[in-house]
């Protein structure tokens, strides 16, 4: 019986994984099978071959890099698909055309088209194997992008790279955010392990463009690039970022690319760490434009587009009273960058709602917040799969100033209720955490993300 609603389509996309989730254990090399996604795409007549894929990975920042790259391509007149995860408010946000979420009818129609070939593959699997939700989303997105005749599809990879379903795509470009230790039980326990997994998305003859990396990660990535023979472009070395600063609520900088000077850039996402993400996106544009200098009018148009961008959960101002800022910071570096970017605007009393999972840098985030925060609420999320550190409250009490209030809440609504009970209202509210916390926050504040 055909699916009739987006909810039914979404349930099917996750059904194969959910049927085995409780039995899965071990590293990705043992539990994930990206070749099944290639088989599914080929059974659908390889719709991904009708456009150029650009893959984006990293331990953080990959959503921003994907978004910025897509928007810059769109500004230059290309028709652009975008695949990101997780979604914030609505599942359809994971697949976008020129910033617009896939319409409900198209999602349902294309999942119905994918269902038959997908079920044939699922029926052939042993009981400990599954057809990945990521692979099914890539298949649906590829059909949609092929129908819509996109030029480029910017695809945010899931966890890792070597065993992520996006690895089966033919991509001449791979873009990298910072590589940090994450998911050690799935990807490996060292930065070198993580880098080796993620850099596998750089294919033979392809070009990799990266933010600055830790030396051990950079060594692995450059060695792989040498083996596949494409080239590795590093922001901070091959692409220069000049005088990034926050002025009048915008990020101002200049970027000296390999072939273009981008002057007087003003990005309306006012956080310092976006400077490196923007440099990577501009580096991608240079490769796509055959390493030729852009025309002056094209650079001016890019400047104008950057001033009007807003990426959900990236230094997003939710309200002015209290001054409330949402950011998906899950590592010390990101939290520090946000706090530095807000210098002069952090009026007390200052409260923070924090939801950083146990496998992320929750200690680093709390250490950065400690000097500023009068009231901390450690929040859970509606996503039941995420695990949060049980010792976080005790750790916060050991490093926060005496008199700081430390509380815990099961979700965003409960966290806000705790803050509402304060004797004196907060002047500044910072919300830091995983994408699931960002999503819960956007739903709580009733944001509409159909078009970005």
Tens of each residue's pLDDT in the chain, 452 residues: 799 999 999 999 999 999 999 899 999 999 999 999 999 999 999 999 999 999 999 998 899 999 999 999 999 999 999 999 988 889 999 999 999 999 999 999 999 999 999 999 999 999 889 999 999 999 999 999 999 999 999 999 999 899 999 999 999 999 999 999 888 899 999 999 999 999 999 999 999 999 999 999 999 999 999 999 789 999 999 999 999 999 988 999 999 999 999 999 999 999 898 999 999 999 999 999 988 899 999 999 999 999 999 888 889 999 999 999 999 999 999 999 999 999 989 999 999 999 999 989 999 999 999 999 999 999 999 988 889 999 999 999 999 999 999 999 999 999 999 999 998 999 999 999 998 999 999 999 998 899 99
Considering only the top CATH level, what class is 316-444? alpha beta
Considering only the top CATH level, what class is 6-306? alpha beta
Q: Identify the pLDDT of residue 120.
A: 98
Where are the alpha helices (H) located in 148-291, listed in sequence order?
184-187, 191-198, 215-228, 274-288
Domain range annotation of the chain: 6-306, 316-444
Beta 428-433 vs 350-355: how paired, if at all?
A: parallel
Where would I find the beta strands (DSSP E) of 150-206?
Answer: 152-156, 173-176
Of 326, 331, 302, 329, give the one whose Cα is nearest residue 315.
326
In three-state form (DSSP H/G/I as H, E/B as E, the rest C), the secondary structure along 363-430 is HHHHHHHCCCCCEEEEECCCCCCCCCCCCHHHHHHHHCCCCCEEEEECCHHHHHHHHHCCCCCCCEEE
């Amino acid at each position: 019986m055909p699916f009739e609603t987006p909810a039914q389509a979404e349930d099917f996309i996750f059904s194969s994984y959910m049927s085995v989730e409780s039995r899965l254990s071990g590293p990705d090399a043992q539990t994930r099978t990206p070749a099944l996604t290639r088989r599914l795409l080929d059974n659908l007549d390889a719709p991904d071959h009708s456009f150029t894929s650009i893959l984006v990975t990293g331990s953080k920042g990959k959503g921003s890099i994907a978004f910025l790259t897509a928007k810059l391509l769109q500004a230059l007149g290309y028709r652009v698909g975008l695949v990101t995860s997780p979604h914030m408010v609505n599942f359809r946000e994971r697949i976008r055309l020129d910033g617009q979420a896939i319409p409900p009818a198209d999602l349902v129609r294309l999942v119905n088209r994918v269902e038959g070939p997908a079920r044939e593959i699922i029926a052939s699997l042993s009981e400990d194997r599954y057809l990945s939700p990521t692979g099914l989303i890539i298949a649906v997105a590829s059909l949609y992008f092929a129908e819509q005749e996109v030029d480029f599809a910017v695809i945010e990879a899931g966890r890792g790279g070597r065993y992520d379903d996006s690895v089966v795509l033919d991509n001449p470009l791979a873009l990298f955010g910072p590589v940090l230790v994450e998911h050690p039980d799935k990807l490996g326990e060292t930065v070198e392990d993580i880098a080796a997994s993620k850099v596998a998305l750089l294919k033979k003859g392809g070009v990799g463009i990266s933010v600055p990396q830790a030396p051990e990660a950079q060594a692995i990535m450059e060695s792989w690039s040498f083996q596949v023979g494409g080239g590795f472009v590093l922001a901070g070395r091959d692409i220069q970022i000049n005088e990034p600063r926050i002025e009048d609520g915008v990020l101002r900088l200049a970027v000296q690319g390999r072939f273009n000077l981008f002057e007087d850039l003003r990005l309306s996402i006012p956080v310092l760490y976006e400077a490196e993400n923007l440099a990577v996106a501009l580096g991608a544009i240079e490769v796509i434009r055959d390493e030729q200098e852009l025309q002056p009018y094209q650079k001016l148009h890019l400047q104008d587009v950057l001033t009007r961008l807003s990426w959900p959960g990236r230094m997003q101002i939710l309200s002015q009273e209290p001054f409330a800022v949402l950011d998906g910071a899950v590592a010390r570096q990101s939290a520090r960058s946000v706090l530095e970017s807000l210098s002069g605007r952090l009026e007390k009393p200052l409260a923070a709602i924090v939801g950083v999972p146990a496998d992320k840098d929750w200690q680093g985030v709390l250490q950065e917040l400690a000097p500023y925060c009068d009231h901390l609420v450690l929040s859970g999320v509606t996503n039941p799969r995420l695990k949060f550190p049980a010792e976080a409250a005790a750790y916060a009490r050991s490093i926060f100033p005496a008199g700081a209030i430390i509380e815990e809440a099961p979700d965003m609504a409960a966290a806000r209720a705790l803050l509402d009970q304060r004797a004196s209202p907060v002047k500044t509210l910072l919300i830091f955490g995983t994408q699931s916390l960002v999503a819960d926050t956007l739903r709580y504040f009733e944001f509409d993300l159909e078009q970005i």
